Structure 1
Amino acid sequence: MRHLSVLLFTMTLTISGIAQGSVRRIQGESASVLPPSVTAAAFLQRNASRFGWDVKQLAAVARVPAAKRHIVVFGQNVQGVPVYGHNLKVEMDLQGRVTHVWGEPLKDLAVPAGTPKAPELAVLAAENTLNTLLPLDLDPPLVLLPGRPARLAYLVVAWVGLKKFHVLVDAFTMNVILIDRAWFNAQGRVYGIDPARTPDPIDVELANLTSADSLVGRAGHVWNCVTATDNQGMPDPENMEVEEIATSDATGNFLYDPVLTLDYTDFAAAVNLYYHVDRMDAHFRALGYTPPVDVTVVANVHSETGGTKTPMDNAYYTPLQNGNDGLFVGQGTNVDLAYGGDVVMHEMTHSVVAHSAIDLGVQQADQYGINRMPLGLHEGLADYFPASLNDSPVIGAYSLEMIQPGASRDLSNNDKVCPDDMVGEEHMDGELIGALNWQVRVALGAEFHPRGHGDRR
């Protein structure tokens, strides 16, 4: 599937003109502190006449964040009508210098004369072609389909189940002239576990997506934190501005390069989050668990006060006021915790335990005093299940060690006993539970599948 995605991306570049020798290497540009879209637009404005382009036909439509460069995508329009399936890209280095222009506008395009028929007829034509019913409030836009001559068409975006199609219907004859499949098995660039144990990122299929253009899937909806108000030294999850994670290329993939330094605009971390949350969710579903609420997952979590951003060296699970569950994963001072797959899966397990086991989220009291072991059970189970699924007994080999050397928890190297080694801190007390489960797994083997202990793979 990876090769297919590369092939489709190559086809897209070919259609957009890159294969026609239209890659321009740009030299001598000055650095810029302006936003990439502003810098790219100013560059095109200055150089349009030299390139022979009509800059009024170009408008920025997307930005592709990357680890070592910025790419701004420009669409083309003719007389206000967007040109379908064609764009150009302006590439800049991290200092804002334009280094390449990929593609160029199509020339000699004209909008056909005549009065288009009603857009409702185009929707009806798409329904008949796809043998489905579409929403009554669809209002398809007009687009220009390049060709000799160019054709004016309605673009009907149609979902059939979880598959998205672009249906182009001739604006004058109402004949369907193109059905463009707009869904793919999206690829994501992730770490198998984390940068410590699996240091080379891999491209994998992102399973169970339910959206073609954002990180929404069966396990939850992944967002990127833009900013959040400070609430007693922590970002406030109920007062947080978030953004969708856009696809990184024209084929609908999420192949962002990981950024392991402090970066408040990194999208790759969110992709890593989706992958590991989905893995953990699929594992629990295989054991018979069905999530009773939706899960909101947020990457790059940090706070901001007076324009100053503050990292968050933490990740946590919490119920939200709207009834959903929330997993909030911090952009830390020295580490983005979203790249620690086991820590992400740990927080996902907290959500499952919270809905599966009664009253483990609070300390308990009786006539003998306060018992904090329920919290330890919560943490111990949240350690064991990711360790079991990853076939690695260490929790936090990357994320926790980057925050504080020695902070990781090794379930296979633990001689703590109850009650002598209980200290009342749930993560430390939870090591007894995690280690117990791990020893059962070692004794019985990973292929033994009792509910709650072994893997179902």
Structure 2
Amino acid sequence: MKSRLRALAFAAVLLAPAAAVASGGHWRGAIPVARDHASAARMIAQLAPSAVTLLPLGEERFGDGDRIVRFASMYRGLAVLGGGAALRIDAKGIAREASHPAAIQFPADIVPALDKPAARTVLAGFSRFPLHDDHVHLAIYLRHGEARLAWFGFPSIPAAFPSRVRIAIDANDGELIEAVDLVQKVDATMYRSNPTASPTLEKLPLPLAESDAGTLAGPFLVAKNCVDRKTVRATQFGFSVHVCDLENSATLAESGNYELEPSDVSGAAASAEDPFSQLSMYFHAARAYTYFQGLQGDPTAQITATMPLTAVANLRLPLGSGFGTDGAFDPSKAANPDLPLGAFDNAFFSPPVPEGQFDPYGEILGVAGGGMFFGQGTQRDFAYDGDVVYHEFTHAVVDKTLQLQGYALDEYGLTASPGAMNEGLADFFSSAIAGDPQLGEYAGGLVQQGGAPIRSLVNDHTCPNNVSGEVHADSTLFSGAMWVARAQLSETDQALFDASIYKAMRTNTGTFTPTYDELATIFVTALTADLPAAAPLLEASFTTKGVLPKCTRVRDQADKNPVEAPAEARAFIAPGTGSTGVRGQAPGVVQVHHT
């Protein structure tokens, strides 16, 4: 029983965050089903490959009575990366929709040619960080229409490094399948905040109540401040790192309210650990949490995989960490508590780490179960900008639902659409919460940015003209299409539009790696059922943007001049086999047709 539970946990928590399948099955109809999970499993099992065992993960309930039952997939005792399934059941107990992997030929022999020690040696060759035996697992890698027996390795990376790497190799020949970073990041040197879009301080209620007043902590969300107490912690790699301690710095005034003054002055000591940053982060993360609970119609719903979700403000890194503003890795500097912690010009969401696996943020910073991290930057504080907080929170939502990451493969080559749509959805819901299509006016207001926001959902970006292979740049044509359709609706219908998109995300839980058109079709189909008047608007918007009927990534070039990358991307990205999982040579993201 314990081994079965460990396998289930490995499938549901470890593999799911970046899970991807090349193609998936989708079904709609009306079939009566009993109200228990076992009956739902039997029903959906008829649609999944016969050799796959489906194990219930949980159930999502919506205010209209609908339930979505989610399943993890196991193949002969091995976790299946990307093999999950979901069943949507209405209030009358009628199965209305199911998503599941398509029929794929699984390997007949699950005994690997490479044993675990040999696999660990091969995997370690792809990482500069140590890889321990208990961080190596055998599983099924399902992608690009192929099921492969694979060894997965998770290098032990210190918490001082904002990165979490997963490496996969073929279990028989040792070929590298992928080497990807599971941490979701916002563009570096950019900040987002309220001070520009809404410069007047207002007295507003905390969207989520605290368990105890004055703690900025509750059952769904915990906010911490990164405070430098000169702490040095040993790592598993033979060196130590100077890290901050996570504390609650925000205190209540005599009125019983938070009446903290903002302090975001570049280079000022008081700004490095200001409690207003922690309060701002909690307020906006709580606002996002209650927004999604509202879409689900259940104020008690758990929206993210981790409960409570931890958020960290004023994140700074040790000088010499290699990830800060001072350049190269230097262990002696990284371990020196007399040096100040360096600015971190970024923000990111890190997915949960399964039980028994090395958790850098848990071991070094005490943040178990994944979390959101907002840097105290060289010029501005990321946690001050609500747009940034909403964006990173939506990454946590995508992590529990669609699990979009990396690249997909179609007849035009590789496409960054999964990662781009992850970014696009993060931007879309950030704008929906804020009520503003401009993202990060404060964080993007740097001198080199000319005071412009980070991105805008009101844009003329299309496929293929604005496709580069960089996920943030490639996101705007998708998010822009969604925003154009939403903007044509009444305020009431906009809420229904958002709820339908969110429900579709919950139903399609990481069962395949979609291209733009595949996910667009899922969203249009969902609206056809939930808000029929909005479906043709979204379809037309996706068509105008070149997403539907297909994002044909072929650019015509009439002369012999170099093909220029889109201005917002600055360059084309050429992903390799390690980041895409393809065999042989990795095709490009854009083709050029000389006319």
Q: Scaled by the length of structure 1, what TM-score is found? A: 0.52
CA distance in 2, matches of 1:275, 1:204: 9
Structure having the higher strand fraction is 1
C-alpha spacing 1:373/1:286, structure 2 compared with 1 (3 Å): same
Question: Aligned with 2:281: secondary structure?
Answer: helix
Kept in 2, the 8 Å contact 1:437–1:453? The answer is: no
C-alpha spacing 1:308/1:239, structure 2 compared with 1 (3 Å): closer
Aligned-pair distance for 1:327?
0.6
1:273 counterpart residue number:
281
Note if 1:387 corresponds to 2:431. Answer: yes
2:442 counterpart residue number:
398
2:420 counterpart residue number:
376
1:221-269: CA deviation from partner (whole Å, max 9, x where unpaired): 00001248899xxxx9996521113423244432110012132120001
C-alpha spacing 1:447/1:410, structure 2 compared with 1 (3 Å): farther
Structure with the greater relative contact order (CA < 8 A, sep ≥ 6): 1 or 2?
2
* Aligned residue pair count: 259
Question: Aligned with 1:241: secondary structure?
Answer: strand
2:196 counterpart residue number:
196
Aligned-pair distance for 1:452?
4.5
- Letter of the aligned partner of 2:204 in structure 1? V
2:484 counterpart residue number:
439
2:306 counterpart residue number:
293
Aligned-pair distance for 1:403?
7.0
Question: Aligned with 2:317: secondary structure?
Answer: strand
1:266-306: CA deviation from partner (whole Å, max 9, x where unpaired): 00011111111011111111122633312110000111333
Kept in 2, the 8 Å contact 1:269–1:299? The answer is: yes
Q: Which 5+ residue runs of structure 1 have no aligned equivalent?
A: 1-191
Kept in 2, the 8 Å contact 1:335–1:403? The answer is: no
Note if 1:326 corresponds to 2:371. Answer: yes
2:349 counterpart residue number:
317
Give aligned-pair identity as a percent: 30
CA distance in 2, matches of 1:296, 1:408: 27
1:162 counterpart residue number:
none
Question: Aligned with 2:433: secondary structure?
Answer: helix
Kept in 2, the 8 Å contact 1:409–1:431? The answer is: no
Q: Scaled by the length of structure 2, what TM-score is found? A: 0.40
Q: Which of residues 289, 297, 304 in structure 1 aligns to 2:318? A: 304
1:103-142: CA deviation from partner (whole Å, max 9, x where unpaired): xxxxxxxxxxxxxxxxxxxxxxxxxxxxxxxxxxxxxxxx
Kept in 1, the 8 Å contact 2:376–2:382? The answer is: yes
Question: Aligned with 1:196: secondary structure?
Answer: helix
**Match runs of 1:106-255 below 5 Å:** 194-207=194-207, 208-227=209-228, 240-255=244-259
Kept in 1, the 8 Å contact 2:225–2:275? The answer is: yes
CA distance in 1, matches of 2:287, 2:421: 22
**Match runs of 1:3-18 below 5 Å:** none
Q: Which 5+ residue runs of structure 2 have no aligned equivalent?
A: 1-191, 320-335, 353-358, 363-367, 503-595
Question: Aligned with 1:298: secondary structure?
Answer: strand
Aligned-pair distance for 1:372?
1.2
Kept in 2, the 8 Å contact 1:384–1:434? The answer is: yes
Kept in 2, the 8 Å contact 1:197–1:397? The answer is: yes
C-alpha spacing 1:428/1:344, structure 2 compared with 1 (3 Å): same
- Letter of the aligned partner of 2:264 in structure 1? L
C-alpha spacing 1:403/1:255, structure 2 compared with 1 (3 Å): farther
Question: Aligned with 1:297: secondary structure?
Answer: strand
CA distance in 2, matches of 1:242, 1:424: 36
CA distance in 2, matches of 1:221, 1:326: 10
1:340 counterpart residue number:
385
Aligned-pair distance for 1:365?
4.2
- Letter of the aligned partner of 1:436 in structure 2? A
C-alpha spacing 1:340/1:403, structure 2 compared with 1 (3 Å): farther
1:178-218: CA deviation from partner (whole Å, max 9, x where unpaired): xxxxxxxxxxxxxx961111111122221322222311024
Aligned-pair distance for 1:313?
1.1
Kept in 2, the 8 Å contact 1:303–1:309? The answer is: yes
Flag the structure with larger Rg.
1
Question: Aligned-residue CA RMSD in angstroms?
Answer: 3.0
Aligned-pair distance for 1:375?
0.3
| Higher alpha-carbon deviation: 202-211 or 260-269 | 202-211
C-alpha spacing 1:276/1:383, structure 2 compared with 1 (3 Å): same
CA distance in 2, matches of 1:210, 1:257: 24
Aligned-pair distance for 1:420?
2.5
Question: Aligned with 2:492: secondary structure?
Answer: coil
CA distance in 2, matches of 1:211, 1:390: 28
